[in-house]
Structure 1
Amino acid sequence: MDLIAYNKSERVANITINRPGKRNALNPELVTSLTKAFDAASEDEDVKVIILKSNGDVFSAGADLEYLQQLQNNTNEENFHDTIALKELFLSIYRSPKLVIAQVEGHAIAGGCGLVSVCDIVFSVPEAKFGYTEVKIGFIPALVTCFLVRKLGEGRAKEMLLSGELIDANTASDYGLINFIVNKEGISISVSAYAQKIVQGTSANSIALSKELLTSVQDLSLDEGLNLAVSLNVKTRSSTDCKRGIAAFLNKEKLEW
């Protein structure tokens, strides 16, 4: 069975984790497949939005049991390369020039919640629970920490990462981990409608440059961040998209992106 399903329609790439019998748990093969899929979608000029979702009742339960057992016998070098692979997946999602939406229709735990953390927009069903349970098995959510502090701030990140407790969708929304809560019957429609709103109403170039600024500015001093903002502002003004957008605005025309 293919570990993921990939399809593209109306400028939206759908990447679906397909290990329902294993609760969509992560293993090295799945991590590699997801990275390749995100890289392909990010490089596809016909794609403006990427949707990440899963088959089955669980979004992702984190690492699977066979993988956890294998970790105990890995050499340091094997663990290094394995961790680098997961890092590359998170960065592929986080730095994608396309808008990335997570469609969460079940629990997202440990590494599965890590996937949620690096997406731009998150839709969830009310029943889903979220959390990073690594500390309960003597592990640490090392890679996730780098992204979660950016998303939630240090206080909330500490609360989630150090306790290992699960939170419900309403709490995850209050914390800023997810954006929208929609019932299971309506979540696919809501996600598709949101994706099409982005496809039809926004410039792909503007999304890409805005994400570049958003993912970079937190690592820079104020002056460095402003200098990057200036350079991207200048770059945007000379772009075809900006010229088309301003012309359409001035002429009161509806622009088809």
Structure 2
Amino acid sequence: MTARTEPPEAEPEPPDATPRPALIRELLLVAGLFLVYKLGRQLATGHTAGAFLDAHRVWHLERTLRLPRENAVQSALLHGDTLIHIANTYYATVHFPATLAFLVWLYVRRPAHYIWARRVLAVVTTAALVLPFTFPLAPPRMLAGTGLIDTAKVYGPSVYGPPSSDHLSNQFAAMPSLHFGWALMVAIGLIVATRSRLRWLFLLHPLITLVVIVGTANHYWLDAIVATAMLGIALAVIHPPHRTATTAGRAPDRLAPEAPALVGAGR
């Protein structure tokens, strides 16, 4: 009888051999990125009249383009107080920590992909800060005549105060939506950096984010579309690292130890 031979088990993928950047420098760079994000939006305040005029233009442009009304998404979320409260909480508590967890995980497990993702986020964030100076935009929750309500103000939790007294954020900087742009980059970055067949589930993060930002009337569809276009340009210019030929044929990563927890904060 011929002995039956079992196929050899696939070897696990070796860790990324790229040296990690200096931790202190990276902490300063990432902290600077978040600081620029916050301060840049504050510097673009003071364009109230123009922000409402642009809001009406965006609203009518969406109708001309036959985009679905944001009201349909909000109506779906308003079927129950619990659902809209979850949406408001997601908007308030996922944005920053999810992105930070993504960067930390890449820094530890995929240093080369970390450098790539950090550069992309820096470029998109910097470019996004230009628009509020040239195109201030009031969010749909402030726009009269649309039938939309400020769900965070009505149902809570809310991260914004009255625009006149809110000195921590610029509420007239709706376009582009970095909430969506960052969420989409988190998903793309994890899909590129991991090899599990389930990695496409990471796209649920930007999908849920899109439903939340539109349903809570914090953003228009066009805010997400512009953010996607800006991210696409950045990704076309800043290419991800290539896997080596020896790595390409190895076993896929398992999802459980690869996926950072997408939990956490703010606008």
Q: Specify which structure has the higher proportion of strand.
A: 1
> What is the TM-score of this pair, normalised by structure 2?
0.29
Q: Specify which structure has the higher proportion of helix.
A: 2
Q: Which has the larger radius of gyration?
A: 2
> What is the TM-score of this pair, normalised by structure 1?
0.30
